[in-house]
Amino acid sequence: MISDKIRSRLPSAPTPTRRGFLISMAASGAVFGFPKTSIAAMDPAAAGGVPIEAVGQSFEPTMWYWVDTAGQVNVNIIRAEIGQHVGTAIARILADELEVAWEDVHITYVDTDPKWGTMVTGGSWSVWQSWPVYRQAGAAGRVAFIEAAAAKWGVDPGTCEARNGQVTSGENTISYADLVSEGLSRSFTDEELSALPLKPHSDLRLVGKDVTALDIAAKTTGAAIYGLDAKIDGMVYAVPLLPPTRLGSSVTSVDDSAAKDMKGYLQTITLDDPSQTVPGWVVVLGETLMAAKLASEVVKVEWQAGDTAAVSEADIQSRARALIADDATGAILPTETPDTTAAFDAASETLEAEYTTSTVLHFQLEPVNATAFQNEDGKWEIHTGNQWQSLILPTLGAALGVDQTDVIMRTYMVGGGFGRRLNGDYTVPAALTSKALNGAPVKLVLFREDDSKFDSPRSPSVQKLQMAFDSDKKVTGMQHHAAAGWPTQIMAPGFLPKGVNDEPYDIFAIDGADHWYTVGTHKVRAISNDLANRTFRPGWLRSVGPGWTNFAVESFMDEAAHFSGVDPLKFRLDHLIAEGYNAGTSPDSVGGASRQAAVLKQVAEMSGYGSADLDADTAIGIATTFGQSRSMPTWTACAAQVHVDRATGRIEVQKLSMVIDCGTVVDPDSAHGQTQGAALWGLSMALYEGTEIENGNVRDRNLGTYTPVRMIDTPPIDIAFVPSTEVPVGLGEPGATPVAPAIANAIFNAVGARLRHLPMTPDAVLSAMNAAQ
């Protein structure tokens, strides 16, 4: 029921008109009306967020861009901008193939429309997936302009050359802008697009070169628009009161008597959520954000808690170990030789180790938020920054009781995602609150503590690794069993492939375990921890499974090398053999294990591994990974120089060296920045980040107790990229994956302490040193 206070704020019409909804960016003061639903796009990096409009008529050879009579090129971007300059990277791919001047290129981040297909920004997929699509799109325009110019001049198109927005043949020259002015309507079928000639790598003039990022000015001046900046006339603010458990809670009573006389307080609403995304949620409404927040602190709610109210991290890890011990659980991945029975039955010796990781929070800078209302067309508009619009749209439809086509998500810059905004659950309570107010505009914001409590954290994990050796200590088999909460199983089960035993598995909870080493028979078993899945919403966090599976693999490879009496570098190189399953395939993993061996050799040389003259209790550890997955490997190697204080156990990372082979480097500056950021993220998770589940919730909810890496602990990072003309693959996450094992291996080399849990703390170092004596 709507309170009288809120009713008095609503427009007289039952549904507010679009004219009444204006967005403003507080820092710049720019105000503009939203475009019509049919346009449904904006450029949040531009002042006021207004995308450019075509001058005169425009030519649109594919849906990915248009060119107008002024020569402007506007590129449509379906990926989320999270600070990685993805729009710049994608636009330059198209502009290079189209042959236009960079200063004429603009970008528009489009809003949800089925024509765009799956809209997702995660898994380091954006450039990898966009590379063929936008190259073909650019080639389509170039071919169309050449054909039009050739027809105008009566010459063979083969005599024409396109360069910087112009077509030339002999003495004839005409601009793209003039050709558009004269009328151009060429279109291409999918078959024609795939058959278009692409420029040879040697002719690329924007890809791989330093250019100014298209959104850097707005970010620098503060004009860029984020979800927190959205302001709509007449909107009310909502702050939630979260139930004691993520699932299964229900409200038994609400008492807002203490808030009723507070300035700016409007109403408290218990949400009814058919989608079961936010069961047991109560939202407090205010005229301002702080009015809602202050009122929320005195509103009293009683809940019936769900059945996970007493669950602890230890309970979840105990469940993981029990699942691993049951050979009937889990999915067996389709490695080349997944049956390891004979190898282990005949083994002269075996090696076994367990590796564990703690729960890890996203802690993105911008807390999750969303603004929602129903527009005059009856469509529900959701204004927020999001990484996977296609995932949350059906849920929003279910929550609102409408078809998902009646929900539009409008694009904003994302103030830190790291995978948290792949799960758009935070949009649901905003939409439900607006529905409870007959479609009136509502802006819902989670303050930091609730943002952490409502996080989709990286699940704690348990992994058991085993290796079989013959009498000559040659590796004959390897087994990797991993149990954790599965984010994709919970939020996108349709994406789960099946293993050789016909059981589904979450690639984002096992990628990395299916490595490129030749180890004889190789069994990888992925196990879903049902208790973790019921206690919280496991999420995709930067580097996802490879952030912890590679910690186990590369630590275990180090242990196996020492067990065999072989230098860890040599041991790895001896087993990175580009044959059979590990040979690689075109176009994404050409070279296979040989490329991983190459980055490992280079980082060893770059870091001085095995030859550097280091102080006592100081050593270099190495690790190598392949980024996200075998389907799109980014060959990565890291060397960590570490000093350990024997008295305190304090770990000082003095230097990180990294070598990356990501195929073609599209945007050098962004590539370096993303790799550096990923490396620091890997360092943070290795030494500093980690919480625990207590009473069904995360223990640490603000930066007083949750302590990501600080600037004072940031080491120098040397990064080298392997020159390549191969397909560009992912870069946002791979740099995080080898850091933790490289540090762990360096600690062992420095003081003989083997650490098998993340984060690695001084107390853990002291304990491991004592155990090693």
Given a cut of 70, whether residue 38 has pLDDT beyond it is no
pLDDT tens-place string over residues 127-157: 999 999 999 999 999 999 999 999 999 999 9
Residue 425 burial (CB count, 10 A): 24
Pull the structure tokens for residue 151: 């027809």
Reported confidence tier of residue 444, pLDDT bands at 50, 70, 90: very high
> What pLDDT score was predicted for residue 39?
38
Given a cut of 80, whether residue 538 has pLDDT beyond it is yes
Reported confidence tier of residue 41, pLDDT bands at 50, 70, 90: confident
Given a cut of 90, whether residue 523 has pLDDT beyond it is yes
- Concatenated DSSP letters for 176-215? HHHHHHT-------HHHHHHSPPPPGGG-SSTTS----TT
Average pLDDT score over the chain = 94
pLDDT tens-place string over residues 546-576: 999 999 999 999 999 999 999 999 999 999 9
The residue to which tokens 């030494």 are assigned: 687
Given a cut of 60, whether residue 535 has pLDDT beyond it is yes
| pTM for the structure as a whole | 0.94
CA dist., res. 662 & res. 645, Å (int): 36
Given a cut of 90, whether residue 48 has pLDDT beyond it is no
pLDDT tens-place string over residues 686-702: 999 999 999 999 999 99
> What pLDDT score was predicted for residue 225?
92
Reported confidence tier of residue 1, pLDDT bands at 50, 70, 90: low
Helix, strand, coil percentages, rounded to 5, for the chain: 35, 25, 45
**Which residues fall within 8 angstroms of residue 479, CB to CB, at 6 or more apart?**
340, 344, 464, 465, 466, 467, 522, 523, 524, 525
State mean pLDDT over 180-201. 94
Reported confidence tier of residue 20, pLDDT bands at 50, 70, 90: very low
> What pLDDT score was predicted for residue 2?
75
Reported confidence tier of residue 40, pLDDT bands at 50, 70, 90: low
> What pLDDT score was predicted for residue 213?
92
> What pLDDT score was predicted for residue 406?
97
Task: Measure Cα distances from 136 to 82, 133, 192 in Å.
Answer: 25, 5, 9
Q: Which amino acid is at 265?
A: Y
Percentage of the chain beyond pLDDT 70 is 96
pLDDT tens-place string over residues 480-492: 999 999 999 999 9
State mean pLDDT over 369-394. 96
> What pLDDT score was predicted for residue 130?
97
Beta strands in 226-313 (DSSP E): 236-241, 250-255, 265-270, 282-286, 300-304
> What pLDDT score was predicted for residue 10?
60
Residue 704 burial (CB count, 10 A): 7
CA dihedral 516, 521, 524, 525 (to 10 degrees): 180
More confident residue, 14 or 7: 7
